[in-house]
Amino acid sequence: MAAPMLPPIRLLSWPLRDVISFCVQNFVPVPEHPLLSDYPRRPRPQMCGAWVEALPELAIGGDAEPLPSAIKALGVTLAAFSQTTRAPIPDALEAQCAAIGTLQSAIRDNTVSPSNELAATIMCLFVSEMLLPTSAMSSVIHERGIGDLIRVNQPSFYSFGVPHKLFVGFRPTLMLHAFLNRKSTFLADDDWKSEPFEPGPESFRVDV
């Protein structure tokens, strides 16, 4: 007998910290196998989940700010594709449209957050659009926005701290997107392949 289906959740009503936790759980790999538990553990930043790990530190504004709104859009979109949470697709689309509107208003009113927060905002929308596109060009537009924003700073800017976490997390997705669309990317340039990974004052090694 099949297990009963759980009712769809209304993740839009969750507190932001719970949505962030849900996003992190969906991006950061599970801990190492229990058989390895006797070995000493150290922080192990992951390649694709690094930028999500920075969200709690970055999302300090209210729900009307671009980043918290984009985080909710990402969370609901992830939940829409989960067998356990089963968030309604209309909720995901509603959250995406609300987040895009909040970002557009912030840009129009010249109240956009600093570069780290803005980059994380666009990345949340980018991943949401890749999972559940609202238009044929939506993911391309977000990818271009992230790339342009990253290049505002020199490659060495991303060698430590939150910028490094964001860069390391964005890089695989941007490269995959460029590969799938058969186009070149600035990430193939020598300085972008080396300088963000040179030791900085707060550098750490990223595990693949």
The residue ranges of every structural domain in the chain are 13-26+46-198
Query: How many CB atoms within 10 Å of residue 64?
Result: 10
Strand partners for 52: none
* pLDDT tens per residue, range 53-83: 889 888 875 555 899 999 999 999 999 887 7
The whole-chain average pLDDT of the chain stands at: 78
| pTM of full prediction above 0.85 | no
Residue 157's pLDDT band, with cuts at 50, 70 and 90, is very high
Residue 41 has pLDDT above 50, yes or no: no
Strand partners for 46: 207
- pLDDT of 64 reads 58
pLDDT more than 90, % of the chain: 22
- Residue with the bigger pLDDT between 31 and 185: it is 185
The three-class DSSP label of residue 46 is strand
